[in-house]
Amino acid sequence: MRANKAILCVDDEAIILLSMKAELKNHFGRQFLYETALNAEEALDALAQLAQEGVTVILVLSDWLMPGMQGDEFLALVKERYPRIKTLLITGNADRETIDRIKRAGVANDIIRKPWSNIDLIARVEACLE
């Protein structure tokens, strides 16, 4: 039976996407579908496609620094179009001021710093899914 809930991972670095997806899949198993996108535009297309297929995306994890649209702008669009989806922003580049601005804007339910630990990633994802 195919899961009808999905987690979408977005990062412009394929190796990071594969790692994130593998960690989530190892922990949550077949509870969810695990989708990936290399940029915000691809991710928005994936969200629309999944919705059309009747799949509920429950969480989007997005890198902050990506070509085209930055993660916080992308997550703001996600929140606007799909208000029930939880969001996690992942960054290795944002400074404290930027992180504080993103927190105040409320576009991310949480922020994870790169490189993350598997334990931290899973704990934050679980907190978002509660």
What is the tens place of the pLDDT at every residue in 34-93? 999 999 999 999 999 999 999 999 999 999 999 999 999 999 999 999 999 999 999 998
Question: How confident is the model at residue 54, as a pLDDT?
Answer: 95
Q: How far is CA 21 from the centre of its chain?
A: 10
pLDDT, the chain, mean: 94
Q: Which token pair is 27? A: 């922990």
Q: Is the pLDDT of residue 95 over 90?
A: no
Supply the Cα-derived Rg of the chain in whole angstroms: 13
pLDDT average, residue stretch 24-31: 97
Token pair, residue 35, equals 């989708």
- pLDDT given for residue 33 in this prediction: 97
Model pTM?
0.95
Q: What is the pLDDT of residue 2?
A: 62
Please give the Cα distance from 73 to 103 (Å, whole number): 13
